[in-house]
Amino acid sequence: MSDYQETLYEGYGQRFRMDKLLHEVRTEHQHLVIFENPRMGRVMALDGVIQTTEADEFIYHEMLTHVPILAHGAARKVLIIGGGDGGMLREVSKHKSVEHITMVEIDGTVVDMCKEFLPEHSKGAYDDPRLNLVIDDGMRFVATTEEKFDVIISDSTDPIGPGEVLFSENFYQACRRCLNDGGILVTQNGTPFMQLDGVQNTAGRMNGLFADWHFYMAAVPTYIGGAMTFAWGATTAGLRNIPLDTLRQRFAGSGIVTRYYNPEVHLGAFALPQYVLHAIGKPSNT
């Protein structure tokens, strides 16, 4: 048995025992590995960075879908950028009120290999008739599409390699253009303790672009270095402060059973610690 050593950070990282290597390939865009680990289940890594594990993916996928969709309250069209493992699509598809899901993933091999080796992630969601799966660069898609969306979820790799463009000013501006009134953009934005510059960069690019921008947090064990941030950009103010009772009604009405998300966690996730508020230039969480 060998080990998989994550290489995201210089001089600091996590190691997974690889009990069984399920697949390894250099795709057109990145190096993909899927293996079995006794504690985390099946694990997928891209270009040396752990992307998702069977054990803890529910936290990340529930928080990046149910927070914006339940805050929005009437999301009909959802766009997922990235998300090739299928977990985000699975959670979005649980919302019966959503009428159309577009997913733009740059690497078709990730989709195919995760369908085969991580079937619990997509759990058949790729067969959802509401899905329009586009294999393309998410930046190109949002820059050129005429479609408008109620919720946009950027489920990208870190800002290295093909994912880098999904953290650019152009990307956020294009996403803003693709949102309907009342629309919300949320993105994977790394762990602030380790990647504070990433949060600062996103804050600077969202400020002035969205009527309300902020971040929310959740601890996902395999995104090491502490709780991670999700960027939030809303076209109208107030969507970040939906009354708890309203969220409870919407969550109950969705009929969705979760393992991490609940309305109290939803609202609490927006309470950022002082060092993150300071980094993004905000005096408080309002």
Q: Which residues are annotated as a binding site?
A: 30, 61, 85, 105, 137-138, 155-158, 162
Q: CB-based contacts of 286: which residues, under 8 Å, 6+ apart? A: none
Site for ligand SAM, residues 87 to 126, rule: CB under 6 A:
104-107, 110
Closest CA to 63 of 223, 275, 249: 223
Site for ligand SAM, residues 50 to 89, rule: CB under 6 A:
51-52, 60, 81-85
Alpha helices in the chain (DSSP H): 57-72, 87-93, 108-117, 119-122, 138-144, 169-177, 192-206, 244-254, 263-268, 274-279
Q: Rank residues 54 and 105 by Cβ distance to ligand SAM and give the closer one.
A: 105
Q: Rank residues 53 and 235 by Cβ distance to ligand SAM and give the closer one.
A: 53
Q: CB-based contacts of 188: which residues, under 8 Å, 6+ apart? A: 60, 64, 82, 154, 155, 156, 228, 230
Told to check if 198 binds ligand SAM by CB under 6 A, we report no
Q: Measured between alpha carbons, how far is 265 from 63 in angstroms, rounded to an integer?
A: 9
Q: How many other β-carbons are positioned within 10 Å of the β-carbon of residue 9?
A: 14
Q: Rank residues 63 and 139 by Cβ distance to ligand SAM and give the closer one.
A: 139
Q: Measured between alpha carbons, how far is 171 from 176 in angstroms, rounded to an integer?
A: 9
Told to check if 166 binds ligand SAM by CB under 6 A, we report yes
Site for ligand SAM, residues 21 to 50, rule: CB under 6 A:
none
Identified binder of ligand SAM from the candidate list 163, 183, 233, 263, rule CB under 6 A:
163
**The total number of residues written for the chain in this structure:** 286
Contact 235, 184 (CB under 8 A): yes
Q: Rank residues 174 and 179 by Cβ distance to ligand SAM and give the closer one.
A: 174
The annotation places the binding site for S-methyl-5'-thioadenosine at 30, 105, 137-138, 162
Told to check if 247 binds ligand SAM by CB under 6 A, we report no
Q: Measuring CA to CA, how many Å separate 131 from each of 99, 107, 211, 284?
A: 9, 17, 29, 39
Told to check if 159 binds ligand SAM by CB under 6 A, we report no
Q: Which of 56, 107, 150, 155 is catalytic?
A: 155
Whether 155 sits among the annotated catalytic residues: the reply is: yes
Q: Rank residues 45 and 276 by Cβ distance to ligand SAM and give the closer one.
A: 45
Residue 77 φ/ψ, nearest 5 degrees: -120, 125
Site for ligand SAM, residues 255 to 274, rule: CB under 6 A:
none
The one segment of 17-25, 124-132, 159-167, 241-249 that binds ligand SAM by CB under 6 A: 159-167
- Residue ranges binding ligand SAM (CB under 6 A): 51-52, 60, 81-85, 104-107, 110, 137-139, 155-158, 162-163, 165-166, 188
List the catalytic residues: 155
